[in-house]
Amino acid sequence: MTARLVSSGKADLEAWSVLSDADLREKLSALPGVGAKVANCVMLFAFERLRAFPIDVWIERALKQQYFPRKKRVTALELREFSQTYFGEYGGYAQQYLFHHARMASRRSTMAKHSDDGGGAPSRRRTRLVRPEGGPSPRLGRDRRKQEQEWERGRVRKAHGPVSQVVSTPGVR
């Protein structure tokens, strides 16, 4: 539906480029299927509005851990207002660093959980993604528990995409 509105010209993205951040966010959020996070992503990456600060579960978790560690309940509105005032005109850059930090911390945590000695060293059995030349990028499924079970069993299985596969390689560091 949104694609039709844009292609027909009813949603004129070019004309919207001169709008203020608040007006642009409002216009984008009014499109079918576009919420606050997607509107902020479009503002940041397509309209180069560096104040835009998309908040997804990773960013929400990172903000709560880094900036509100003692507060039990923080609302989405509080996080949005905090990020706008604290990070200011370069909030989009800060969001990217927070996202990277959250993902790397999660990866380290997962590696420690799956290590042989329990001390955080990488496991001898690692998973590497294999992609035939010119094929689509491999992508793991969303069900994390299933992924972890597959990891522990060392199975070879098809990933999302017709030519991609996940291959477990014993003894590779």
Which residues carry out catalysis? 37
**Are 53 and 91 spatial neighbours (Cβ–Cβ below 8 Å)?**
yes
Quickly list H helices, the chain. 2-8, 13-16, 21-30, 36-45, 57-67, 76-87, 91-113, 144-153
Q: Whose CA is closest to 102, among 67, 63, 75?
A: 63
Q: What is the DSSP string of 41-66?
A: HHHHHTS--TT-----HHHHHHHHHH
